[in-house]
Structure 1
Amino acid sequence: MSRTEALAHEARRDRLLAGLRADGGSPAAPLALAKRTSNLFRDREAGPRHRIDLGDFDHVIDIDTASSTVEVEGMATYEALVAATLQHGVMPAVVPQLKTITAGGAVAGVGIEATSMRQGLVHHSMLELDVLLPDRRIVHCTPDNAHRDLFFGFPNSYGSLGYALRLVLRTLPVRPCVRVEHIAHASPEDFFAALAEACEGDADFVDGVVFGPRSLVLNIARFEDTAPWLSNYEFERIYYRSLLEMPVDHLSVHDYLWRWDTDWFWCSKNFGAQNPLVRRLFGRSHLNSCSYTRLMRANARWGLAKRLARWRGMHTESVIQDVDIPIAAAPAFLDFLQREIGILPVWVCPVHAPDPDAHFTLYPLAAGMLHVNFGFWDVVETREAHEAGHFNRLIEKEVLRLGGIKSLYSDSFFTRDEFNATYGMAAYEVLKRRYDPDGRAPHLYDKCVLRR
């Protein structure tokens, strides 16, 4: 496969460069990526964009089981990447939760999942990276070549330094099935202590869910060759509910990796899709994150949910956030979250940067320290009116106070000084001058906070 696919990749690169040359000089409008789907949850100001279509770069080029690597193009979805690697008895070292996330997007943003307690974030599994720069050059980046600064600076850049055309990522061996223990805790302190202990053990996957102040479930999963039964959560059964119902469960490795996608964790409830009748009307093929994302964006365009809330006399704010908090501060952050925000359930996933010498410029995690990712996604409703971004701003302040960091895929309200200090903007400006000296791509702060 590798030789044929490698030649096909080179041909796609040549066609892309020829098309960009024919496109003329520097575009007046800001650069943007032409995509059919997106896992970003922040709107940008309306206005012209010079869109680059990289849709052809969606192939898996090579799977090398001997070196435990996969070579993949940036627009390949993890659904396609997992399907290809599982045929060879391996999986990407970190598989983000949603099928439509792309390999390039998971690196340009921040991808995490239940292997992250040992493997780190998606970009920690990256070995090589080819980037299409805003000036239409393509550069090859590794941890030790002339473009190592971009290799370590590309994660969390969200297209402001260019777009990933090709990546080499580490893989892990898999076995056919996964056994999952669901361990209930009534104390946050006990829960986080058990989570930290699980990360030191022999588990292959660790995550958890907070259902309430005294209802926390730690999920510890291990590969297995055979299973007494295999549960399936792609249609009538709902995965997150099983955490409270089944002390032990067994899934195929494929179904385990996509356990959260069918119901978008639990957010399918916002579309009535957890009602058995509505679920059947959706059908198996439409119970997935892609369908819910389309519905969510349609609602955002038409404002139906906001109108209904106003009719009920309520004020709403969308709070869709993932934050990484040092584990010592995790109980304090959870207490804040329940007290000030009130969103439940909350997904919890440990993350540990595996290489203390690998310093990723724009998303620094303290080396040698276990962090806890909190994922919470809902709408906060109040009778009292607040300024725009009130609850998101409370979260940002608490994350900074506790020494954490927040993903930038959704709404952000940081001041420029806060943003500069948190996301390594001094080093980013050096990268910007080297790789986008004409400012053809938006600045990271302008894009993620000012929505330009």
Structure 2
Amino acid sequence: MTRPSENGFLANLQAKAVRWLEDNRGLVIVLFCLPASFLFDSAIQIRCWIRRTFFSAPADHPKRVREIQKCVQQRNALPESERKPMCTAKPNWLSLSLTFYRKDLCHQVPIDLFDILELDEERLTIKVEPNVSVGDLTRYLTPKGYTLAVTLEIADATAGGLAFGVGMTTYSHKVGLYQETVLSYDVVTADGELVHVTADNEHADLFHCLPWSHGTLGFLVALELKLIKIKPYVHMKYLPVHSQKEYCDKMMELSGALDKDYPVPDYLEATIYDKDNAVILIGNFADVDTDEKKAKINEVTRWYKPWFYKHVETFLNKEGEEYIPIQDYLLRHNRAIFWVLEAMIPFGNHPVFRALLGWACPPKPAFLKYTTTAAVREMTFSKQVFQDIVMPLNTLADQVNTAIDLFDTFPLLVYPCRIYDHGRGPQGQLRPPPKEGLTSGSNFAMFNDLGVYGVPGQVKRREPYNPTKAMRAMEKFTRDVGGYSFLYADLFMTEDEFNQMFDLTLYNAVREKYHCEGAFPKLYDKVKPEIDVIALGDKSEN
């Protein structure tokens, strides 16, 4: 029998160990996580090389799809009492979602689809299988003079994950969300049928609901995406601003929110370093054809270079310009995972560290997730924030002030993005923007992604912090202004609140039409945290 004094001793020892790990997290990650992550990533890369070299066969795509259909049909042939909801067999740790969906309770279907199927340079489209990564596509397309119209900055993101989730980037003020660049989906339904889904065929209702569906309406086996032509470099201008009103007004102007015919730049974003100080990044495709331009080339993703957001910070008190190779620009935030790596390795941007170990960064996201135990998940949940939220750009000042009040962490990321009203009834899970918010003479309103990543100031100062209360307040603000939470991150909403934020009218009709009930989990059940966020929030205050 354990005596009370022993319990107290063990609890005190555990608390000291946790505190030591918190205070020395960077050292632990450098000594153990980085080497293990490097080996882990190397093994994955070797596996990918073997798969591409010896097993890649775009011509065999129909055969691979038939195998998926067969798996679904075999599940459907089981006695009703033995049929579980279906999901992909892709391990949770390979997903960029923060949550750990209980796939062990599902009928898992392997989706071994990793090939680029067809590049159509006349139509400016590319057809790919769902597990092709952003890194693969960037390496394949940029030497040919193309890129996806919406290219996420994280190389491990996949074409299919973005299609059934959401994607936004610094070109989105010109084209909208990733879903606006998808021309067609090939989907295996709950009945095991293969359907080709477009905006104007008999499956148009399904087309509008597949974005933000997170695998709850079918299995994606291929998709066709729009491309844009590019030049070898991005001419980047850095514009420092020193008041909240100034950067809010500038983003409205430069994004085209005030005038649909305004000559907007190719790429646009802002990094906010405190309430009143930010740097606006204005990028345009460019050639480097003079010695003067060549002298301004900056390959920002080199391992020994400063993290990109730290480089941007040097322009807070001066304007600047440079030429960034297009592939470096597209993956500029990959090396520091925006600025999340600073919370893991506080000294990671030091020149000595970058010179010696910068090549090993960042720790592989898949490895971090693979090694996440329940205790680590609980700690990161209660001591970090990682959220992307889409809200009307004309509320930016209120967004920033709310984020500061609740999380007190910087920098903050701002990407402007068109949200369209396509003029039909329910247009999928996203509610159309209000008519009064539309840019004059257009069918879109300008929204923005507010990226809040890092350790809240209250945690840094070791003050009381309840992540559940903070995030529920942020979600309420988001609903009140007509915004949406990205569903890869932890949600704190009840199902009723979720249904207020998103419009599930068409989604529910599609689930019934395509026999998804019982075959696939419901959207809220698929994306809600696997942990009790209310209990953990209460615990964090004690």
* 2:439 aligned partner: none
Matched, 1:244 2:313: yes
Tell whether 2:280 aligns with 1:218.
Answer: yes
Aligned-partner residue type, residue 262 of structure 1 = R
Q: Is the 8 A contact 1:104 1:163 kept in 2?
A: no
* 2:86 equivalent to 1:31: yes
Whether 1:196 aligns to 2:258 is no
- Give the CA deviation at 1:440: 1.7
Tell me the CA shift for residue 385 of structure 1: 5.2
CA–CA separation in structure 2 for the residues paired with 1:451 and 1:193 = 40
- Report the AA paired with residue 9 of structure 1: H
Distance 1:448 1:203, change over 3 A: same
Q: Distance in 1 between matches of 2:486 and 2:378?
A: 25
CA contact (8 A) 2:76 2:83 kept: no
TM-score (norm 1): 0.90
Select which of 201, 217, 220 maps to 1:164.
220
Is 1:40 the counterpart of 2:97? The answer is yes
CA distance in 1 between counterparts of 2:529 and 2:95 reads 19
How far 1:69 sits from its partner (Å)?
0.8
> In structure 1, what is the equivalent of residue 32 of structure 2?
none
User: 1:324 aligns to what?
Assistant: 390
Letter in 1 for 2:271: V
Tell me: CA distance 1:101–1:346, structure 2 relative to 1, closer, same or farther (3 Å): same
Q: Which amino acid aligns with 2:487?
A: L
Deviations along 1:119-152, whole A, 9 cap, x unmatched?
Answer: 1111100111111223332211000111111100
Q: Secondary structure at the match of 2:224?
A: strand
CA–CA separation in structure 2 for the residues paired with 1:250 and 1:301: 44
1:374 aligns to 2:450 (yes or no) = yes
Q: How has the CA–CA distance of structure 1 residues 164 and 47 changed in structure 2, closer, same or farther, with 3 Å as cutoff? A: closer
Question: Structure 1 residues 103 and 387 mapped into 2: Cα distance closer, same or farther (>3 Å)?
Answer: same
Is 2:216–2:516's contact at 8 Å kept on the other side of the alignment?
no
Q: Are the equivalent residues in 1 in contact too, given 2:236–2:322 (CA < 8 A)?
A: yes
Q: Please state how far the C-alpha of 1:197 moved relative to its aligned partner.
A: 1.6
3-state secondary structure, aligned to 1:139? strand
Q: 1:21 to 1:134 in 2, by over 3 A?
A: closer
Mapped partners of 1:84, 1:355: distance in 2: 33
Select between 107-116 and 134-143 the one with higher mean Cα deviation. 134-143
2:473 and 2:242 map into 1 onto residues whose CA distance is: 26
Kindly report which structure 2 residues correspond to 1:79-90, keeping only aligned pairs within 5 A, or say none.
79-90=135-146
Q: 1:61-95 deviations in whole A, cap 9, x for unaligned?
A: 11111111111111111111122222321111100
* Higher strand content, 1 or 2: 1
Question: Deviations along 1:25-79, whole A, 9 cap, x unmatched?
Answer: 3563332222251110123358433222213x11111111111111111111111
Distance 1:234 1:16 in 2: 40
Deviation of 1:11 after TM superposition, in Å, equals 2.4
One-letter amino acid of the counterpart of residue 65, structure 2: R
Higher normalized helix content (fraction of residues): 2
SS at match of 1:234: coil
Mean Cα deviation higher: 15-24 or 77-86: 15-24
Say which SS state the counterpart of residue 87 (structure 1) adopts. Answer: helix
Asked if the contact 1:160/1:443 (under 8 Å) is kept, the reply is yes
- Pairwise mapping of residues 145-184 of structure 1 onto structure 2 (< 5 A)? 145-184=201-240
- Note if contact 2:70-2:192 (Cα within 8 Å) is conserved in structure 1: no
- 1:339-393 deviation line (CA, Å, top 9, x unaligned): 2221211110000136734764112341521001101122334456566622111
Q: Given that residues 472 and 492 in structure 2 are in contact (C-alpha distance below 8 angstroms), is that contact kept between their aligned partners in structure 1?
A: yes
CA distance change for structure 1 residues 218 and 15 in 2, over 3 Å: closer, same or farther? same
Superposition RMSD in Å: 2.6
* Structure 1 equivalent of residue 64 of structure 2: 12
Is 1:440 the counterpart of 2:528 in the alignment?
no
Q: Is 1:298 aligned to 2:392, yes or no? A: no
Helix, strand or coil for the counterpart of 2:400?
helix
1:25 & 1:279 partners in 2: Cα distance? 56
Is 1:234 the counterpart of 2:302 in the alignment? Answer: yes
Structure 2 equivalent of residue 404 of structure 1: 483
**Counterpart in the other structure of 1:342:** 408
Segments of structure 1 that go 5 or more residues without pairing to the other structure are 310-314
1:261-272 superposed matches below 5 A: 261-272=334-345
User: Residue by residue, what CA displacement relative to the aligned partner does 1:148-197 show, whole Å, maximum 9, x if unpaired?
Assistant: 11100000011111222111111000001111111111112211211122
Higher mean C-alpha displacement, 275-284 vs 84-93: 275-284
C-alpha displacement at 1:253, in angstroms?
0.6
TM-score, length of structure 2 as denominator length: 0.75
Residue 351 of structure 1, aligned match among 405, 417, 425: 417
**What's the % identity of the aligned pairs?**
23
Aligned residue in 2 for 1:312: none
Alignment of 1:48-127 (within 5 A): 48-55=105-112, 57-127=113-183
Does the CA contact (< 8 Å) of 2:98 and 2:490 recur in 1? yes
**Deviation at residue 257 of structure 1 after TM alignment:** 0.4
